[in-house]
Amino acid sequence: MVSVTVDISIARQALESVCRGILEDPAELTGRLKALLREHAFDNRSILHPRRLNEIAETQVVSLLDYLVGQDEEAAMAYGRTALREGLGERTVLLVEREIKNYFADRLEGREAGGLRLGLARIDDYFSRYLDGYMREREAGILRDQEQLRRALSSALERQGRELYIKNHAINTSINGVMLADLDDRISYINDAFLYMWGYDSSGEVLGQKTWAFLRTDEVRESPMAFLERLGGGWRGELTAQRRDDSTFVVDISASLIKEPNGQPVGIMYFFIDITERKRVEESVRRLNQELEQRVIERTAELRASLEALQKTQEHLIQSEKMSALGGLVAGVAHEINTPVGIGVTVASFLQQKTKEFSEMVIQERLKRSDLDAYMNTALDSSNMILSNLRRAVNFIQTFKQVAVDQSSEERRQFKLKAYIEDVLFSLRPKLKKTHHTIEVSCPEGLELYSYPGAFSQIITNLVVNSLIHGLEFKDEGQIRFEVTEREDGIRFRYSDDGRGIDAKHLTKVFDPFFTTKRGQGGSGLGLHMVYNQVTQTLGGQIDCYSSPGKGATFDIWIPKAEVRDVKQE
Amino acid sequence: MDAESRLLSIADPSRPNAGRIYDYMLGGHHNFEVDRQAAETVVQIAPFMSKSLILIRWFLGEAVRRLINQGHDRFLDFASGLPTMEHIHEIAPPGTRVIYSDIDPVTVEYGREILGGNPNVRYVECDAGRPEDLLGSGVPEPMFGQERRLAIGFNGISYFLPDETLRHALRTLYDWAGGGSSLFLCDADADMSRVTDKIKTVFDIYSKIGQPIYIRPKERLFELAAPWRIEEPGPLPLDEWVDLGKVYTPEEQAEYGGTGFFGVIFRK
């Protein structure tokens, strides 16, 4: 008994000696453990980061020595718990235990046999308690983790259950039909809307039947499964559905394969919308559209006819306006010729009377020398006067004739522009001579055109008439100016008066047909429209109007060279 | 597979799920038998896969420490998994604001239990491919205030997102984040035309469970991440980030047809 006590005491002393040595210089043992832990880093759980391995090696040595010296069983067990929580794997723990045993065996080898035995026994004891704590913690951890997992799963499933309930509710209360079928195309689920749409009372009448029994089968050529697979898993279209009472209606159907996550099909989902009402409305709309199209065609024809009539009327009115202008011209001619011809008639009558008196004197032989001289003078003066007045009349007639012919024809001929402007103004003398307006014509003397004098005549006439009845209406001594300049690419023909001008709101309308501010006072609204047409259509040019109230009006006309070649070329 | 079916599979204990397979490989208990079987199949085919997944977690810790040293105190993390030890809020100093997110509603619920009532940390459900759902949810404002200089985690998720989805997600984050923000991300530098049959088998497993893997060369990832720009120390293999020396054999590294997993920090 005593010797045993002595042996234990000696063994304890040997063990404590080794422990003291380690305490004084732990680097060797901790170094071996660090190397071991790093070598087996991947045997642990990921939560044990490699940087913790060095600390674990150091605390492991401290924990073991504490136990060997003080035999704190709870501390050993607690350290085992900590090792598990840190993530140290079982294999690593066993390797650590073996490494420590080897280390102590090396140190105690050759000393008292009891020291080695006692040391290994104490280390076994330490690791027994360490592993007890480790395994208890592991069991507790698994139970805790599993319980937490169960609760978490439960929460998630409960939430999914709520979502599923809401979705089920949405499907069940949908106004559109929903149907699920298995891969044999047998119906496994329908919602209330389907029953209502197809006229069934309970799902029992429908479940288990083939889906196509509820649709017109002559529209189906292959199994729904094969059909959907071929189309990539889904299809949408319109089909005719057949109710329980054999009546039919049109449905918009969406069909899709229900697949497992691995892509394996497990069923088919159908979604039906009754589009009978939509079809009816579509048909109504189609008919309405047809009627509307027909009405549009008819109305277009009516409008086209009206437009043609209107155009003819407009052309007629323009022609009338031209004729009216020509009529005015003829009236002016008549008036102008009346004076010289009247003078001629008067003088001729006077000469006839004098000749008759002279003849009687000759017959009665009472003619004196003085009578002969007087008669000769009278005859000479009278014949001169008759001749000059007749010549004047002839000039009038020639001028009027040319202008009148030009206005009524669209012939192209060669003419000198300045002389022609003056001729046209001359033809307007009956209108102008009642006024005190002055007209100035600035135009190159030699400018000779091969163009449409009728167009120029109408432009000049209508512009002057427009000034007389609008711009210069209330002006006694107005000014009208023609300014023609020749350019390389054409001629610029500027007409202006210093009348009362045109309101801004009328400026954009002055060329519109039938636009007039003198409606009911003789204005036809066609004068400037004819000017516009002659410039833009007959002469291929452009016309702009500038004016402001009180500052006269200016018409700026540009006519391209091609339309006013200065000599005849053909 | 549409988003809804994917979500349903996540909460379905009868089907394996990539997130729970990941958890099992990391040594977690947040998984079911179907996940463990799938994970074991993957490990048997490609034993080094679990090392890669563990390294991703360790990279996250390294990146977080680096960003904290740079003064970041607001973190927004995607595909977070469980917020256990060595996750952002465990590493960061007190007062750091963290929003974790995950597509898996079970992980989110579990994460909330683990976090308890920590007022500086929130955990919300969000698909990493649609960060706008989180950014527009009203959660960031009370957590981050007007400050938009953030550190954004996007780890272990890129290879589950097709190119255009990834581009959209990273661009959305770039547009939302303020100047000086950082994005820490890890992905696999890989070439689908050169991966080995072994890895193709692993990819097939993920495809069969409805979570296909989209690998890409790292240059492609940088294109998709633009205009985020790469910050020092640049893209490094994950083992270099944790200073463990080379953990892959040359044969293991060659499996991906590229240099394998790497971590990188971007800066706006």
B247 in contact with A, Cβ within 8 Å = yes
Using an 8 Å CB-CB cutoff, list chain A residues near B28: 45, 145
Are residues A138 and A186 both part of a single domain? no
Give A152's contacts in chain B (Cβ within 8 Å). Answer: 106-110, 113
Gap from B13 CA to chain A (nearest CA, Å):
9
The C-alpha angle with vertex A14 and arms to A8 and A16, in degrees rounded to 5, equals: 100
The total of other beta-carbon atoms located within 10 Å of residue A278's CB is 13
Q: What is the CATH number of the domain that holds A192?
A: 3.30.450.20
The angle formed by the CA atoms of residues A255, A258 and A260, to the nearest 5 degrees, is: 165
A199 secondary structure, DSSP code: T
pLDDT of residue B85: 66
- Look at chain A and report how many structural domains it folds into: 4
Mean pLDDT, rounded, for B67-71: 94
Same domain (yes/no): A306, A437:
no
Longest dimension (CA), chain B: 50
Residue A5 is classified by DSSP as H
Rounded (10°) CA dihedral A277, A278, A283, A284: 70
From B1, B5, B54, residue closest to A46, measured CB to CB: B54
CA distance B37 to A548: 98
In whole angstroms, give the CA distance from residue A16 to residue A38.
Answer: 29
Name residues whose C-beta falls within 8 Å of residue A435's C-beta, 6 or more positions apart in sequence: A468, A472, A476, A478
Distance from CA of A97 to the nearest CA of B (A): 21
Using a CB-CB cut-off of 8 Å, the residues of chain A touching B84 are 47
Q: What does the buried/exposed string (b/e) look like for A466-475 if buried means 16 or more CB atoms within 10 Å of the residue's CB?
A: bbbbbbbeeb
Distances (CA, A) of B61 to A246, A532, B18: 70, 89, 22
Q: What is the mean pLDDT of each run of 10 residues along chain A (570 residues)?
A: 53 78 86 90 82 88 86 85 87 91 82 73 90 89 77 76 82 86 89 91 90 73 78 85 90 87 82 87 88 88 84 70 62 69 86 88 87 88 85 72 65 88 86 87 90 88 89 88 90 93 85 75 74 87 88 92 60
State which amino acid sits at residue A437: H
Is residue B152 within 8 Å of B177, Cβ to Cβ? yes
Of B101, B183, B87, nearest in space to B134 by CA: B101
The DSSP code for A262 is T
At residue A49's C-alpha, the angle toward residues A44 and A52, to 5°, is: 100
Report the CATH number at residue A532: 3.30.565.10
Nearest to B113 among A48, A50, A152 (CB): A152
Q: Which of B206, B221, B207, B210 is nearest to B258 (CA)?
A: B221
- Inform me whether the pLDDT recorded for B253 exceeds 80: no
A236 and A301 both lie in a single domain: no
C-alpha distance from A279 to closest chain B C-alpha (Å)? 33
Is residue A86 within 8 Å of residue A52, measured between CB atoms? yes
- Binding-face residues of B in 124-143 toward A, CB within 8 A: none
How many contiguous H segments (helices) and E segments (strands) does chain A have?
A: 15, 12
Predicted confidence band at B67 (pLDDT cuts at 50, 70, 90)? very high
A50 min Cα distance to partner chain B (Å) = 7
Residues A214 and A352 in one domain: no
A90 Cα to chain B: minimum distance (Å): 11
Instruction: Determine, for residues B210 and A38 on separate chains, whether the beta-carbon distance falls below 8 Å.
Output: no
A515 within some domain: yes
- Angle between helix B3-10 and helix B105-115 axes, rounded to 10 deg: 50
In tens, the pLDDT along B102-160 reads 988 778 887 888 888 889 999 999 999 999 999 999 999 999 988 889 999 999 899 99
Query: Are the C-beta atoms of B46 and B199 separated by less than 8 Å?
Result: yes
Mutate to test the interface with A, among B51, B90, B106 (most CBs of A within 10 A): B106
The nearest alpha carbon in chain A to B55 belongs to: A46
The CATH number of the domain holding residue A98 is 1.10.490
Distance from first CA to last CA of chain A, Å, rounded? 157
Contact between chains at B242 and A160 (C-beta distance less than 8 A)? no
A289 CB-contact burial (10 Å; exposed 0-12 / middle 13-18 / buried 19+): exposed
Token pair belonging to A325:
């202008």
Are B90 and B122 in contact, with CB atoms under 8 Å apart?
Answer: no
The answer to whether A261 contacts B50, with C-beta atoms less than 8 Å apart, is: no
B213-236 pLDDT, tens digit per residue, is: 898 999 999 999 999 999 989 999
Tokens standing for residue A232: 């990539």
Any A CB within 8 A of B43 CB: no
Domain-by-domain residue ranges, chain B?
Answer: 47-267
Residue A525 shares a structural domain with residue A557? yes
Distances from the Cα of A360 to the Cα of A12, A370, B245, angstroms = 199, 15, 162
My answer on whether omega of the bond before B119 falls inside 30° of 0, hence cis, is: no
pLDDT at A408: 61
Report whether B79 contacts B236 (CB < 8 A): no
- Residues A223/A185, Cβ–Cβ less than 8 Å: yes
Helices in chain B by DSSP H: which ranges?
3-10, 18-25, 33-45, 48-69, 88-91, 105-115, 131-135, 140-144, 163-176, 197-208, 218-225, 238-241, 250-254
Contact B27 A89 (CB under 8 A): yes
CATH 3.40.50.150 fits domain B47-267: yes
pLDDT score recorded for residue A156: 72
pLDDT of B41 > 80? The answer is yes
Q: What are phi and psi of A242, to 5 degrees?
A: -120, 120
* DSSP per-residue letters across A291-337: HHHHHHHHHHHHHHHHHHHHHHHHHHHHHHHHHHHHHHHHHHHHHHH
Question: What tokens does A485 get?
Answer: 């300049």
**Residue A118 belongs to some domain of the structure:** yes
Q: Measure CB to CB from residue B106 to each of A41, A156, A259 and give the nearest one.
A: A156
Residue A413's DSSP bridge partners are: A451
Interface of A with B in 34-73 (CB under 8 A): 38, 41-42, 44-51
Spatial neighbors of A465 by CB under 8 A, at least 6 apart, are A325, A428, A431, A527
Hey, is B210 helix, strand or coil? coil
- For residues B189 and B251, what is the distance between their CA atoms, to the nearest angstrom? 15
Q: How many CB pairs under 8 A join A and B?
A: 89
How many angstroms separate the CA of residue B88 from the nearest CA in chain A?
Answer: 12
DSSP state of A48: S
Q: What is the mean pLDDT of chain B?
A: 86
The number of C-alpha atoms within 13 Å of A418 and in the hemisphere containing its C-beta is 12
Between CA A197 and CA A477 the distance in angstroms is 93
Q: Is A202 on the interface with B (CB under 8 A)?
A: no
Q: Which residue of B has its CA nearest to A90?
A: B27
Q: List b or e across A378-394, with b for residues whose CB sees 16 or more CB atoms inside 10 angstroms.
A: beeebeebbeebeebbe
pLDDT score at A221? 63
CB contact under 8 A, B5 and A141: no
Token pair listed for A532:
């516009």
Nearest C-alpha of chain B: how many angstroms from A11?
41
Residue B181 · residue B108 · CB < 8 Å: no
Helix, strand, coil percent values for chain A (each to nearest 5): 65, 15, 20
Query: Which chain A residues are Cβ-neighbours of B9 within 8 angstroms?
Result: 261
Which of B126, B111, B113 is CA-nearest to residue B157? B126
Give yes or no: residues A419 and A453 share one domain. yes
Residue contact B29–A145, C-beta within 8 A: yes
pLDDT digits (tens, 9 = 90+) for A182-191: 988 899 999 9
Residue A334 in tokens: 């008549």
Between chains, do A261 and B1 touch, taking CB under 8 Å as contact?
yes
Question: Could you give phi then psi for residue A413, rounded to 5 degrees?
Answer: -155, 175
Say yes or no: B11 contacts chain A, CB-CB below 8 A: yes
Are residues A54 and A10 in contact, defined by beta-carbon separation less than 8 angstroms?
no
User: Judged by CB atoms within 8 Å, which residues 82-101 of B form the interface with A?
Assistant: 84-86
Mean pLDDT of B39-52: 85
Report the complex ipTM.
0.76
Inter-chain contact A145–B30, Cβ cutoff 8 Å?
yes
Q: How many C-beta atoms lie closer than 10 Å to residue B8's C-beta?
A: 18
To the nearest whole Å, the CA of B224 is away from the closest chain A CA by 27
Residue B79 confidence (pLDDT): 92
A401 is a domain residue: no
Tell me which residue in A42, A155, A261 faces B5 most closely, judged by beta carbons. A261
Both A539 and A461 in one domain: the answer is yes
> Which residue do the tokens 């952002």 mark?
B88
Contact A47 B27 (CB under 8 A): yes
Closest CA to A527 of A545, A514, A543, A540: A514
Residue A249 sits in the same domain as residue A306: no
> Could you count the other beta carbons within 10 Å of the beta carbon of residue B178?
13
For A343, the domain range is 293-393
d(CA B230, CA B268): 9
Give residue B75's pLDDT: 96
Confidence of residue B258 (pLDDT cuts 50, 70, 90): confident
The answer to whether the Cβ–Cβ distance between B105 and A160 falls below 8 Å is yes
* Cβ within 8 Å, pair B51-A42: yes
φ/ψ region of B79 (left if φ > 0, alpha if ψ in -120 to 50, else beta) reads left
pLDDT at A2: 36
